[in-house]
Structure 1
Amino acid sequence: MFMNFLHSTYCNAAIFAGIIFVFMGYFIRRYPPKSIKSWYGYRSALASRSPEMWQAANQHAAYISRRIGIILIPTGLACALFFDSQTDWFWYITVGAVVTGAMYMVGYTEWQLQQIEPESPEDNDNL
């Protein structure tokens, strides 16, 4: 029975990753990491510059993570209904959606952090 599920189209990356993205976004929103040294949270060089940047990064990443998960789950279900078996295109679409979602989350969060990053004193010397 378990092997039948593993080989069915309902066992796909988009559904599983979508559930993880929704859970991760909810968890980080509900229990935000207190400091940069926490064992979980959105980590990047830009997010680690200050506690304010850390909080903003985790807030944005949690928001986008939930939204991506809400998109991935129906995508995985649609692929499960559309495809009869786990073909190459099935894997390209389901895994590609997960990779695209993760890249979007990182890109959007980093872009948001760049928008709130304070100007450096060297930038004001050139005026």
Structure 2
Amino acid sequence: MFMNFLHSTYCNAAIFAGILFFFMGYFIRRYPPKSTQTWYGYRSFLSTQSPEMWHEANQDAAYISRRIGAILIPTGFACALFFEGQTDWFWYITVGSVIIGVMYMVGYTEWRLQQKMNRDEYDGADIPDKRR
């Protein structure tokens, strides 16, 4: 019974990772990590720079993670219905969509942190008035 499930198309990376992403995003949104010392949360060089950056990074990562999960789950079920077996293209699509989702989450979150860091630098800088 278990081996039949393992070899069926319903056992794919997109469904499992989609469920994981969705619940991870929900968990981080519902119980945000208080500091960088907690065991969970979005960790990167930029996100650990300050408590504000940590909070912003985890908000963005939780939001994007839920969205990725909501896309990966239907993608996995569509692949399970479309393909008759676990072919090479089946694995390329299901695993590739998970990799693209992870890259999008990290890239978007880091881009948002970079934008926040640049805004904060310009807010505190003495910018000369060029309207003279």
* TM-score, reference length from structure 2: 0.91
Q: What root-mean-square deviation, in Å, do the aligned CA atoms of Structure 1 and Structure 2 show?
A: 1.8
Instruction: State how far apart, in whole Å, the 1-side matches of 2:126 and 2:99 are.
Output: 39
Unaligned runs of 5+ in 2: none
Summarize deviations over 1:66-113 as a string: whole Å, max 9, x none.
Answer: 000000000000000000000000000000000000000000001111
Q: How many equivalent pairs are there?
A: 127
Match of 1:74 in 2: 74
Give distance in 2, aligned partners of 1:44 and 1:2: 38
SS in 2 for 1:32: coil
Q: Which runs of 5+ in 1 are unaligned?
A: none
Q: Distance in 2 between matches of 1:85 and 1:124?
A: 63
Identity %: 75
SS in 2 for 1:3: helix
Aligned equivalent of 2:121:
119
Q: Equivalences for 1:1-127 in 2 at 5 Å? A: 1-117=1-117, 118-119=120-121, 124=126
Change (3 A) 1:84 1:101: same
Give me the TM-score of the superposition, normalised by structure 1: 0.94
For 2:106 and 2:25, the matched residues in 1 are separated by 13
Q: Which runs of 4+ in 1 moved over 4 A?
A: 123-127
1:126: Cα distance to partner?
A: 9.1
Query: 1:115 Cα shift?
Result: 1.3
Distance change in 2, residues 1:124/1:71 (3 Å): same
CA pair 126-91 structure 1, distance change in 2 beyond 3 A: farther
